[in-house]
Structure 1
């Protein structure tokens, strides 16, 4: 089998990013396609958050090397401040040169045919393009998010650093991969001189093995309130829950909903204290709970046990889809997507028949639709995805797409 060197920052025991699962599942299924993955990650000391729950998911026998790396914000700061040069393009730039040295050792020893590097850690792409130029191997650059958009990065110095890396990578990579059609189109417009066949869309998804232990369907326990769950980060600039909270308060205030029939859980928001203040300000402390992160398997089970799964996505992120939405779709639970109807998130919910789409910013629209939607949920008539509709987003199918990209590049180089 041919080898593929994976350069990934988000790798167990890192926790707190859905991006861990993309690379982890690619490496799980690549051997089925005739590829042996090799992993180059960072020293766990550099991870802002760590957890052991996914260490057991690393395929036995996978070669994993970890290069020296520090987090400038934690390891190089004095009284909370650190030199900008120690954090360009990001806080983990100290990983760059040690990873290049380790990567060259791995290339000499294991003779991989391709290099794969995944963003949103910009240093990973810097490592990838450096190794590709030093070794002559083709680089596959994975963009889980767009590196540069109209609004991000906001810091002009960081923005210029990102632009330089992006331009080097797009010019030097053998292939670039994006997670949504709109992200792909954004880059095709940005780099019109590059061959269209150099860019590919391989979506995020779910791993069927993670759901094998769950019952096909489970009824809500008698007497339990309808449970609406949002699992994952809730940043106010991208996923603002305040219009939803206001609309929920309106429905409770005028009697269209009762406090004893509905509860909302915000799990692992990334700013629990901030969201508790928002809930208190909305007068919903007895209806909305803010809960801490769970291990991955437990988080999936909670999704499968919920009555409604919530998605928040602002119009500024129209080219993106929250990675958890694919897991939501696989559960078969009704999805309430609070987003822009013109965005990728709304399109995915509608094409998979997974639920209902409402305007994230419209308190009035949410308040008008929420009671009827929950009544449909209670009757079992709310829209939800079937297993057949979900299967197109399986990690196994997506890994086959990635292997095809690898094979084309390896064949070209060979």
Structure 2
């Protein structure tokens, strides 16, 4: 067996075409996975060529990520027709939220939001970037043949990019791998798209066609692998997201007992047991009340903010909004405790948030709340980086938070991680090349 991070030599010197929608200056978690793979692929003798849209509509921007793009990487672009650009004429705010995954609770959706969701789910299948498929296939068919491309990887969401790989494979008989950063028909927001029966059937048919046609499938969690194994006999490989070496100057910890959440705080991730536990600790303990601060970094839904307010926590919130990735890393490493929340649903057991791995190397303890059987719970436990609780464990949550607070008072609060190297971006790139 090869040593960790040292792949076989069979793919060295070959060109790999990566078809992705998210690329700097896009912000958010979707851009990180392939930005980092591209960073390390040349160290394994693989030449990446990245295909991206020329004129994308990104809901989040982070210009700082442009500095992380290898200067020697080949990047090719083609124009994309973006329905989100048209939709913004009706409601720019609603369009931006929906395109970034922030979907209001069904009972609180406006008429325009309901209309946008119906159009998104029923007219643009599998997603709003499907109009990029046909022109991309036309352009890339010629490019692949003229430039000695050996293998294609498509990464989704948006899952319409997998249709580009499917069509290229049909035309050119080229090796194609489909990378799923998230599931397709079982992703958390899929049921919010107000799908007709025929639209739902088309989504599932396309999903199965991609899974059974790709030469191999890459997923980010064991649960997604198990789900896809019911649909295809093709090999499925789990390659999680990971952490990279961040050149961030060490900062003193926050003076307050900060509980920090980094990233989008969606309506469905509203942990009422946490707000209740914090409100009770504030009422019961004067020292906790004087020291506590809830730090929110990233877009936060109105439903979450309303729940925080109803729990009487408004005065304890420090909301920084969306910040560049480098700033987010600094803030998380300054925080006393890091909060990770996933939707309480069987559909989200497979979700391993990308920020988990950056959390793990921050040396700050993690408090994670999610569904029973969540894949990321096993990672937290095996790496000794924090605690995982379900939505029914409020009293245990209170005990853990107060225990961390007592360590904070003593000046001894930190995590003691083990076995993190397997999740380094460089090592994971080695695992990818083994699959290639």
Aligned residue in 2 for 1:156:
195
Residue 325 of structure 2 corresponds to residue 296 of structure 1 = yes
Aligned pair count? 392
Aligned residue in 2 for 1:90:
127
CA distance in structure 2 between the aligned counterparts of 1:190 and 1:151, rounded to whole angstroms:
19
Indicate which of 18, 27, 31 corresponds to 1:15. 27
Aligned residue in 1 for 2:151:
114
Deviation, structure 1 residue 274: 4.2
Say which SS state the counterpart of residue 176 (structure 1) adopts. strand
- Give a deviation string over 1:317-362, Cα, whole Å, max 9, x none: 1122111000000111111112235211211110100012222344
CA distance in structure 1 between the aligned counterparts of 2:392 and 2:200, rounded to whole angstroms:
28
For the aligned residues, what is the CA RMSD?
Answer: 2.3
Residue 334 of structure 2 corresponds to residue 305 of structure 1 = yes
Kept in 1, the 8 Å contact 2:283–2:289? The answer is: no
CA distance in structure 2 between the aligned counterparts of 1:99 and 1:352, rounded to whole angstroms:
42
Say which SS state the counterpart of residue 259 (structure 1) adopts. helix
Kindly tell me: are residues 225 and 213 of structure 1, through their superposed partners in 2, closer, same or farther at Cα, counting changes over 3 Å? closer
Kept in 2, the 8 Å contact 1:72–1:86? The answer is: no
Deviation, structure 1 residue 257: 5.2
Kindly tell me: are residues 43 and 10 of structure 1, through their superposed partners in 2, closer, same or farther at Cα, counting changes over 3 Å? same
Matching of residues 321-332 of structure 1 within 5 Å: 321-332=352-363
Kept in 2, the 8 Å contact 1:354–1:383? The answer is: no
Question: What 5-or-longer segments of structure 2 have no aligned partner?
Answer: 1-12, 92-114
Kindly tell me: are residues 230 and 331 of structure 1, through their superposed partners in 2, closer, same or farther at Cα, counting changes over 3 Å? same
Question: What 5-or-longer segments of structure 1 have no aligned partner?
Answer: 407-414
Residue 210 of structure 2 corresponds to residue 199 of structure 1 = no
> Which has the larger displacement, 36-45 or 81-90?
81-90
Residue 430 of structure 2 corresponds to residue 400 of structure 1 = yes
Aligned residue in 2 for 1:246:
276
- Give a deviation string over 1:89-117, Cα, whole Å, max 9, x none: 21111211122122223212321110000
Say which SS state the counterpart of residue 227 (structure 1) adopts. strand
Kept in 2, the 8 Å contact 1:152–1:159? The answer is: no
CA distance in structure 2 between the aligned counterparts of 1:150 and 1:227, rounded to whole angstroms:
31
Residue 245 of structure 2 corresponds to residue 220 of structure 1 = no
Say which SS state the counterpart of residue 48 (structure 1) adopts. coil
Deviation, structure 1 residue 385: 4.0
Matching of residues 168-179 of structure 1 within 5 Å: 168-179=209-220
Deviation, structure 1 residue 390: 1.8
Residue 310 of structure 2 corresponds to residue 284 of structure 1 = no
Kindly tell me: are residues 76 and 319 of structure 1, through their superposed partners in 2, closer, same or farther at Cα, counting changes over 3 Å? closer
Residue 230 of structure 2 corresponds to residue 230 of structure 1 = no
Kindly tell me: are residues 256 and 141 of structure 1, through their superposed partners in 2, closer, same or farther at Cα, counting changes over 3 Å? farther
Deviation, structure 1 residue 86: 5.2
- Give a deviation string over 1:43-67, Cα, whole Å, max 9, x none: 3343233332211211112111222
Aligned residue in 2 for 1:357:
388
Question: What TM-score does the superposition give when structure 1 sets the normalisation length?
Answer: 0.88
Matching of residues 64-75 of structure 1 within 5 Å: 64-75=75-86
> Which has the larger displacement, 151-160 or 182-191?
151-160
CA distance in structure 2 between the aligned counterparts of 1:173 and 1:277, rounded to whole angstroms:
44
Indicate which of 17, 36, 41 corresponds to 1:5. 17
Deviation, structure 1 residue 139: 0.8
Aligned residue in 2 for 1:188:
229
Runs of 4+ in 1 over 6 A off after TM superposition: none
Q: Choose between structure 1 and 2 for higher RCO, CA contacts under 8 A separated by at least 6 residues.
A: 2
Aligned residue in 1 for 2:379:
348
Question: What TM-score does the superposition give when structure 2 sets the normalisation length?
Answer: 0.84
